[in-house]
Each structure stands twice: as structure tokens, then as C-alpha cells.
């Protein structure tokens, strides 16, 4: 008799909601840092830091090449974050606005979801 793979006990959507609720429950930077230490590998933490570090530069309209020179983050990653700012779910812009104040996310973005305009990758 063949064994069939076990069905997941918790549906993916429910598990994601539970993760979001856990993130929202943390109250301090130290609590969040401890949670991320437990949740993520060092490489995953680095990828998250890199993506987040380019958001303010993109919101400020800096060109990709300058962001790369300043942060050492790859052009590919910068482009991925820029695409999310342009047409993503709005998470980067919402977080940036809350962390840095309403001036962090310029109004009048070109995306269909109201994201901030981002700079071109070309050098001036």
C-alpha cells in the first residue's frame, strides 16, 4: 500500500495570517530582532536588510547606480524593490511612511496603487 503525503494541518493562508499576527504582536525592536533571529537564516536576514535599505534611496529619487555605490546592494535587488514600490502591494511605502513620517512617501506616484515614483537606473 502506497502512503500518500500528509495533508498540511494548517492551510497556507491561515499560516500566513498567523505569522502576520505574530509580527504585529511584537512591541519593541529587541523583540522583533529576537523573532527574526529565530525565524530567518542569516542569509534571509541579509536579504531583508538589503531590500529595506534601498527603499529610502528609491523614495528620494536616487538613480540605481548611486544606490548601488552607496549601499553595495545589487542592481537586480534595487530593481526588484523599485518594481514593488511602483506596482506592488504598497507595503514598502506604508512602512516607510510610518517609520520616517508622511514625507518619506512622496505623493503623486505613478503606480496604480499610489506608490512613489522611483528613479531610473541610468547614470546622468
Main-chain phi, psi angles of 64, to 5 degrees: -55, -45
- 3 state DSSP class of 46: helix
pLDDT in tens, 93-114: 999 999 986 554 444 343 333 4
Phi, psi of 98 (to 5 degrees): -75, -35
- Residue 29 belongs to domain spanning: 10-39
Report if residue 17 sits inside a domain: yes
Looking at the structure, tell me whether residues 52 and 25 fall in a common domain.
Answer: no
pLDDT band at 11; cut points 50, 70, 90: confident
Question: What local confidence, expressed as pLDDT, does residue 4 receive?
Answer: 64
75 and 120, same domain (yes or no): yes
Answer yes or no: is 4 within a domain: no
CA distances 88 to 14, 16, 20, 69, Å, are: 22, 18, 18, 25
Instruction: Tell me, yes or no, whether 119 and 85 share the same domain.
Output: yes
Which residue is it, cell 506592488? 88
Q: How many domains does the chain have?
A: 2
Question: What digits encode the pLDDT tens for the residues 45-97?
Answer: 999 999 999 999 999 999 999 999 999 999 999 999 999 999 999 999 999 99
Considering the entire predicted model, what is its pTM? 0.73
Q: Are residues 118 and 78 in the same domain?
A: yes
Amino acid at each position: 500500500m502506497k502512503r500518500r503525503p500528509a495533508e498540511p494541518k494548517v492551510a497556507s493562508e491561515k499560516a500566513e495570517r498567523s505569522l502576520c499576527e505574530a509580527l504585529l504582536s511584537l512591541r519593541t525592536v529587541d523583540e522583533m530582532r529576537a523573532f527574526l533571529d529565530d525565524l530567518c537564516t542569516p542569509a534571509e536576514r541579509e536579504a531583508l536588510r538589503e531590500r529595506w535599505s534601498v527603499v529610502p534611496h528609491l523614495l528620494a529619487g536616487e538613480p540605481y547606480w548611486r544606490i548601488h555605490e552607496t549601499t553595495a546592494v545589487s542592481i537586480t535587488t534595487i530593481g526588484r524593490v523599485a518594481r514593488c514600490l511602483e506596482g506592488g502591494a504598497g507595503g514598502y511605502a506604508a512602512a516607510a511612511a510610518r517609520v520616517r513620517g508622511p514625507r518619506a512617501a512622496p505623493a503623486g506616484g505613478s503606480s496604480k496603487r499610489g506608490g512613489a515614483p522611483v528613479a531610473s537606473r541610468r547614470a546622468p
